Amino acid sequence: MAKISMLLVGVLLLGGWTGLLDAEYMKYKDPKQSVDTRVEDLVSRMTLEEKIGQMLQIERKYASADLVKKYFIGSVMSEGGSIPAPQASAETWINMVNEFQKGALSTRLGIPMFYGIDAVHGHSTIYKATIFPHNIGLGATRDPELVKRIGAATALEVRATGIQYAYAPCIAVCRDPRWGRCYESYSEDPKLVQVMTEIIPGLQGDIPDNLPKGVPFITGKEKVLACAKHYVGDGGTINGVDENNTVINRDELMKIHMPAYFNSISKGVATIMVSYSSWNGVKMHANHELITGFLKNTLHFKGFVISDFEGIDRITSPPHSNFTYSVEAGVSAGIDMFMNPKLYIEFINDLTMLVKNKHIPMSRIDDAVRRILWVKFMMGIFENPFADYSLAKYLGIQEHRNLAREAVRKSMVLVKNGESADKPLLPLPKKVPKILVAGSHADNLGYQCGGWTIEWQGVNGNNLLKGTTILNAVKNTVDPETKVVYKKNPDAEFVKSNGFSYAIVVVGEHPYAEMHGDNMNLTISDFGPETITNVCGAIKCVVIIISGRPLVIEPYVGIIDALVAGWLPGSEGQGVADVLYGEYGFTGKLPRTWFKSVDQLPMNVGDPHYDPLFPFGFGLSTQPTKGFYSA
């Protein structure tokens, strides 16, 4: 009897251990399983609390490893300019991201989190990163292959800081330059914006031929999740007022603002961010027809839809006045992940109550979580959750700076060159006795880079950025015997009495981002007009406009010998000197119509009242003249 009992206990123990071993095998942890199998296995194991946590992205200032663990947070982010320490190194960023990751991995199911940041023209809020031209300048290059290479370089620098998700590209079609985000748009022309979606395979990797359309795709630890934004119509608001109402019929919405999303989805973009703006009075963050109906069901987008920063709060006016309603509207519309930087506990409580009271079906929650987890499995973060310190060396490397310099010279648009074609001013001679460089933007990296650089609204001066100002680029390029005199705003007498051979005037607008850049006047900042008048009224001059959009220049064109649209070139000002002095020819073409007067706005190519100062697509060319030294 004792022997039988012992045998029975042995069998039971063996069976118990076998059961435990079976429980230990979790399909979602097995990289040999398909992504679909892993997603379904993991979703089946999750509680409502764990699912809602995956739907949240919170700001680093309000996060910690313990908090990520406690609330099962799916993602952490930096708002514009939010950094772990002043002038933080790549290693400091990696340490922070890995610390949050430890919190995520210590949860019951060990679902890793990813970190998001605005890397909209390079890894642009990071100290010592390469700052590429803003999108409007890239639109002027007409070079999608260049933009793809910029995407790859940006991805590598983002990964150099341990971050896996970039809120780029902005594929807005800016229809009114008075909009404060116009420089984030490649063009007023939908076809040009479509072509520039080639940045997505640069950021994420090339999508394999055998992958179904609409499926998100990202390859390896040197690539990042991309984010097509802002869905949809953000560049078409009335008078260019940021976050406002786009009044347009469905056919026009589809023809102007939607096409680049078709391309983005076909290139495997992992995420799409919803716009703050409205379409015909309906807030996009609450638009079920366009998010679920069109984007998910018609276009078969399989990635996840993310809100903008506190985007659902702004469904109501004033913002956050009925947050429970906003949560219900946003989730029901089809948003999957919520950029809720600070008030995440309120979001968790409200969404839990809405699901438990059957105002939101569990199927909607499961759809959101499946999409987020699909992207996480695809990107390989379950197998490689921690940042790789060996990538830190790629931040701001010379190869990327050379690429940015190439982008700068290709983005410069020459719109006037001398009084006639047979008497051009450019390219400039390198060897002359003395030249004048003038203007508020000639020796200011912050102004040169614009908004979304180091801080959300950009910065002033040269202290926080590594790069080359246009003044220093000129000094680097001219003959050693040529004297370069810099004066920010010289008076006419100074210009006349100093025997300058010619002048380079660099003026424009101060940095700004989003609604802070909304501008109904579009005039040149500071003493720009005065500088142009004083200098160009006295000697031969080339004027370079550093701006995120066309500005009022028509009153001064007559006294300007040569005029260059320089956009917001970023950190590598040497690219400007490359074309001024004939190391390379001018090749850029206007990505936007240059108006005569703001009274004409909005005015885009193809409009019946089209009467520009310089039309869309215009741009003079010059030939390289290497060895061109004398006047």
Q: What is the pLDDT of residues 426-451, one digit of tens each?
A: 999 999 999 999 999 999 999 999 99
Range scoring the smallest mean pLDDT among 14-28, 366-380, 552-566: 14-28
From start to end of 172-290, where are the E strands? 227-231, 245-246, 271-274, 278-279, 282-283
Following CA atoms 472, 474, 476, 481 in sequence, which dihedral angle do they give, to the nearest 10 degrees?
-120
- pTM metric for this prediction: 0.95
Q: How confident is the model at residue 23 (pLDDT cuts 50, 70, 90)?
A: low
pLDDT tens column, 141-197: 999 999 999 999 999 999 999 999 999 999 999 999 999 999 999 999 999 999 999
Residues in Cβ contact with 282 at an 8 Å cutoff, skipping those fewer than 6 apart: none
Which residues touch 271 (CB under 8 Å, ≥6 apart)? 165, 216, 225, 226, 227, 228, 303, 304, 305, 306, 337, 375
* Pairwise CA distance, residues 270 & 207, whole Å: 11
- pLDDT band at 219, cuts 50/70/90? confident
Instruction: State the distance between the two ends of the chain, measured CA to CA, in whole angstroms.
Output: 113
What is the pLDDT, as a whole number, of residue 212?
85
- Per-residue pLDDT band at 7 (split at 50, 70, 90): very low
514 counts as catalytic: yes
**CA–CA gap between residue 278 and residue 311 (Å, rounded):** 12
The overall average pLDDT reported for the chain is: 95
Query: What is the model's pLDDT at position 626?
Result: 65
DSSP category for residue 303: S
- In terms of DSSP bridges, do strands 282-283 and 278-279 run parallel, antiparallel, or are they unpaired? antiparallel
| pLDDT exceeds cutoff 80 at 596 | yes
Which residue, among 135, 156, 131, has the nearest Cα to 144 in the 3D structure?
135
Contact criterion met (CB below 8 Å) for 186 and 138: yes
Contact 104, 113 (CB under 8 A): yes
- Residue 252, C-beta contacts closer than 8 angstroms, at least 6 positions apart: none
Phi, psi of 297 (to 5 degrees): -85, -40
pLDDT digits (tens, 9 = 90+) for 223-250: 999 999 999 999 999 999 999 999 999 9
| Res. 454: pLDDT tops 90 | yes
Which neighbouring-strand residues pair with 435? 484, 502
**Active-site annotation holder among 59, 79, 328, 514:** 514
Domains parsed from the chain with CATH numbers: 31-394 (3.20.20.300), 412-600 (3.40.50.1700)
What is d(CA 292, CA 533) in angstroms, rounded to the nearest whole number? Answer: 55
Q: Is the pLDDT of residue 18 over 90?
A: no
Contacting residues for 492 by C-beta, under 8 A, at least 6 apart:
533, 534, 537, 538
Set 308, 313, 350, 561: catalytic member: 308
User: For this structure, is 222 an active site residue?
Assistant: no
Q: Quick one: pLDDT at residue 422?
A: 87
11 pLDDT more than 70: no
Residue in the block written with tokens 């002095």: 581
Q: How confident is the model at residue 21 (pLDDT cuts 50, 70, 90)?
A: very low
